[in-house]
């Protein structure tokens, strides 16, 4: 069974007359060569700075240390955090696949994740 459609064109071969983009078909503005669009910002310019920062140690390393606690519990600790420590904790938990908490201005991650945390800080810090 064929669907009945209503013909919206007054003449079957006539082109559409109401084109909302007709005014845009004019000349390109001066200063832009034909065929190019406006310059796009680079990826580094579009990426916003993180809401946190971690200050390096005097020797230039990251303030990441490892502790063994009671009951053979391993903990990775990140110190010298300024800004939003909870945002950094969320990113590190996702990156390392571990639990953690913010305690006394430092972050504690469950397990030994020193290498992953240092790699993460190297890739996300723009200093």
Distance CA 107, CA 24 (A): 54
Pairing, β 52-54 against β 81-83? antiparallel
* Model confidence, pTM: 0.62
pLDDT of residue 34: 60
Mark residue 72 as left, alpha or beta (left: phi above 0; alpha: psi -120 to 50; beta: remaining): left
Mean pLDDT by 10 residues, the chain (127 residues): 70 66 67 60 69 92 95 95 94 95 94 96 79
What does CATH list as the number for 53-122?
3.30.780.10
Q: Which residues partner with 103 through β-bridges? A: 106
* pLDDT for res 88: 95
* Residue-level pLDDT at 69: 94
């Amino acid at each position: 069974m064929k669907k009945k459609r209503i013909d919206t064109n007054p003449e079957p071969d006539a082109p559409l007359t109401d084109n909302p983009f007709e005014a845009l078909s004019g000349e390109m503005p001066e200063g832009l060569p034909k065929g190019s669009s406006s310059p796009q910002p680079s990826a580094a310019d579009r990426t916003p700075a993180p809401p946190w920062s971690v200050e390096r140690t005097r020797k230039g390393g990251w303030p990441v240390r490892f502790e063994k606690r009671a009951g053979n519990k391993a903990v990775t600790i990140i110190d010298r955090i300024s800004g939003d420590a909870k945002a950094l904790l969320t990113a590190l938990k996702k990156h390392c696949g571990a639990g953690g908490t913010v305690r006394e201005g430092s972050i504690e991650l469950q397990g030994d994740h020193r290498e992953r945390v240092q790699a993460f800080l190297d890739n996300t810090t723009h200093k």
